[in-house]
A and B are shown apart, each in its own frame.
Chain A
Amino acid sequence: DAGVIQSPRHEVTEMGQEVTLRCKPISGHNSLFWYRQTMMRGLELLIYFNNNVPIDDSGMPEDRFSAKMPNASFSTLKIQPSEPRDSAVYFCASSLVQGSGANVLTFGAGSRLTVL
């Protein structure tokens, strides 16, 4: 398996522009997580999907952020409009969540976003 695939790996954009980050989870995994990492705040959970349905989006900073999972093999995180404080590394992770299992997370390599 190629693991969790994220794109783009690096994105530099100007304030006010729309940014779309993409994630392809591991085939067969039923849960997907979006995290944001900064030096100030560490690794923060933004949103969590189970079977393509958003379960908890309490970590999404504000209405400028939105996430979708149209099918089991693809998710997007969109920021519109982007602001300099959104600069961070965004990680996607997937997991096979089972009631009796340990639910190990597999992370992608991350998308480094710089908003000028």
Chain B
Amino acid sequence: DAKTTQPNSMESNEEEPVHLPCNHSTISGTDYIHWYRQLPSQGPEYVIHGLTSNVNNRMASLAIAEDRKSSTLILHRATLRDAAVYYCILRDVSGGSYIPTFGRGTSLIVHP
């Protein structure tokens, strides 16, 4: 799978929107963009994924650049429970190569 780059940490205030960026300049046409988050003392959990179009679900929104070389996870109103490490990974679903590699992710700090 291609590599992703994320900032080490970001801070936000409670009830404000948060935009978490991810760069994936070597993305291929068959790579899905996945976001996971890891709350303290828990395993990573799925947040959202997309291929080309922007996506929304109950947890977050995913905005994908037109050239697909970057994406942004949007938390519309951050809460204290959103404090976690957020991982952006690429999942290649062609040719049988499905190895999901996680980087260091972005540690989100939410201030009350």
In the bound complex, residues from chain A placing their C-beta under 8 Å from that of B49 are: 102, 104
How many Å lie between the Cα of A77 and that of B9 in the bound state? Answer: 32
How many Å lie between the Cα of A102 and that of B32 in the bound state? Answer: 6
Q: Which of under 10, 10 to 19, 20 to 34, or 35 or more describes the interface residues of A?
A: 20 to 34
| Interface set of A (CB-CB < 8 Å, partner B) | 4, 31, 33, 35, 42-43, 45, 48, 50, 56, 91, 93, 95, 97-110
- Do B99 and A99 touch across chains, with their CB atoms under 8 A apart? no
In the bound complex, residues from chain A placing their C-beta under 8 Å from that of B45 are: 107
Known: A107-B44, A108-B43. A102 touches B34 (CB 8 A): yes
In the bound complex, residues from chain A placing their C-beta under 8 Å from that of B94 are: 99
How many Å lie between the Cα of A101 and that of B98 in the bound state? Answer: 11
Interface size on B, residues (CB 8 A): 22
Known: A31-B98, A33-B100, A42-B102. A102 touches B43 (CB 8 A): no
- Do A104 and B46 touch across chains, with their CB atoms under 8 A apart? yes
Q: Which of B30-72 contact A (CB under 8 A)?
A: 32, 34, 36, 42-46, 49, 51
Q: How far is the CB of A29 from chain B (nearest CB, A)?
A: 12
How many Å lie between the Cα of A106 and that of B44 in the bound state? Answer: 8
- Do B46 and A106 touch across chains, with their CB atoms under 8 A apart? yes
In the bound complex, residues from chain B placing their C-beta under 8 Å from that of A42 are: 102-105
Question: Per-position contact with A for B85-101: 1 when CB-CB < 8 Å, else 0?
Answer: 00100010110001111
Residue of A nearest to B47 (CB): A104
In the bound complex, residues from chain B placing their C-beta under 8 Å from that of A4 are: 43
In the bound complex, residues from chain B placing their C-beta under 8 Å from that of A48 are: 98-99
How many Å lie between the Cα of A33 and that of B94 in the bound state? Answer: 18
A-B contact pairs, 6 of them (CB 8 A): A48-B99, A93-B43, A97-B98, A102-B93, A103-B32, A107-B45
- Do A109 and B98 touch across chains, with their CB atoms under 8 A apart? no
How many Å lie between the Cα of A114 and that of B49 in the bound state? Answer: 34
How many Å lie between the Cα of A97 and that of B101 in the bound state? Answer: 15
In the bound complex, residues from chain A placing their C-beta under 8 Å from that of B42 are: 109-110
Residue of B nearest to A101 (CB): B93
